[in-house]
Amino acid sequence: MHPIVIGGGRVGTAISRMYAPRPAPILRRGEAVPDLPRPGADAGPIWVCTTNDALDEVIAATPQGRRGDLVFVQNGMLLPWLRERWLGGNTQVLLYMAADASGAVTDGRKTLAHGGRWAEHAAAALAGGGVACRVEAGWREFQEAVAAKLLWSSIFWVMSAALGETVGEIAENRSEEVAALVAELLPLVDDYLDDVIAADGRGDVTAGGVSHKGSVEASAAPAEKEQVQRRRVSSSGGRNSVWRL
C-alpha cells in the first residue's frame, strides 16, 4: 500500500507522520498525483488535507483512475459538491484533531470515518497516530454529525472572533447568545439534511452523480423523515443546546 498526503500544512504533516517509520509522501498544492504504474497495482489512500478552495485543483491533478482513492478531511457539508463531481461515495473523515507545527496532535475524541474504499484504513491509521476514530457506517448519522460540527464551529468561531473570548468562555458565559444563534441557523441545517436525506441511498450517493431528488422525495415515507428529524434534535440535546456538543 502506498498512501499519499496532499497538503503540507499541520494536519497533512501530522497524518503523513502517522505512517512512521516511513511517513507518507506529501504533495504540495498543484502537484500532480501519480497514477498507478500498472493496472491492478497496489494503491493506497490519497489524503486530501488542503483548504476547501483547493479541492477542484486537487481533483484536476488526480488521474481519473485514482479519484476513488481520495479521502476528504475538510469541514463543511461537502456532499452536494462531491456528488457533482461523481465522488459522493468517497471516504470522508470528520476530523476532531488539532496539530501543532511539529506534527504533534491533540485528540478531540470524536473523529469519524465514513464510506468509500478507505474508511477502515483511515480509522486505523488515525488511531495508530493517537487520534481515536470510529467508522460510522450509517450514512444519515454521518451527515447529521457533519452538520452538527459545522453548526458548532460556525457559531463559536464567529463569536470568538467578535468577542475576543475563548470557546470555553463562550460556552460557560454566553449560553443565551449561543442559543439564539442556534435557533437562527438550525433551520438552514435542517433544510440541508432534508435535501440529502431525500436522496439517501437511492443510487446517487454511492455513485456520486446527479441527485434525483424530485422522484425520491415523492416516494420518501413521511414517517421515516419525521423519525430522522426527532433523532437529529434529540441527539444534540434539543434545538437550543447544540452548543454543548
**CATH number assigned to the domain comprising residue 35:** 3.40.50.720
Angle, vertex CA 56, rays to CA 54 and CA 62, nearest 5: 105
- One domain, residues 145 and 218: yes
Give the model's pLDDT for residue 200.
58
Give the side-chain half-sphere CA count within 13 A for 232. 26
How does 54-68 read in b/e, with b if 16+ C-beta sit within 10 Å?
bbeebbeebeeebbb
Q: Same domain, yes or no, for 57 and 108? A: yes
Q: Are residues 131 and 199 in the same domain?
A: no
User: Are 103 and 213 within one domain?
Assistant: no
Is the pLDDT at 170 greater than 80? The verdict is yes
19 & 115 share domain: yes
Are 118 and 157 contained in the same domain?
no
Mean of all residue pLDDT scores within the chain: 81
What mean pLDDT comes out for the span 209-230? 33
| Integer Cα distance of 141 and 161 in angstroms | 30
- Residues 130 and 155 grouped into a single domain: no
Q: What is the pLDDT of residue 189?
A: 83
* Confidence band for 77, pLDDT divided at 50, 70 and 90: confident
CB 122 within 8 A of CB 133: yes
Number of domains in the chain: 2
User: Are residues 125 and 21 both part of a single domain?
Assistant: yes
pLDDT in tens, 117-132: 999 999 999 999 999 9
Residue 164 is classified by DSSP as -
Q: Of 120, 135, 150, which one is at a domain's C-terminal end?
A: 135
* C-alpha closest to that of 237 among 177, 175, 188, 170: 175
Q: What is the DSSP letter of 4?
A: E
CB 92 within 8 A of CB 72: yes
The last residue of a domain, from among 86, 119, 135: 135
- Min mean pLDDT across 44-48, 91-95, 96-100 is at 96-100
Helix orientation angle between 175-198 and 139-163, rounded to the nearest 10 degrees: 150
In this structure, are 161 and 192 located in the same domain?
Answer: yes
Q: Which domain holds residue 117?
A: 4-135
Q: Is the pLDDT confidence value at 20 over 70? A: yes
Q: Are residues 38 and 122 both part of a single domain?
A: yes
| Claim to verify: residue 169 and residue 183 sit in the same structural domain | yes
Last residue of a domain, one of 90, 110, 135: 135
pLDDT category at 67 given cuts 50, 70, 90 is very high
**70 and 99 inside one domain:** yes
For residues 219-238, average pLDDT: 38
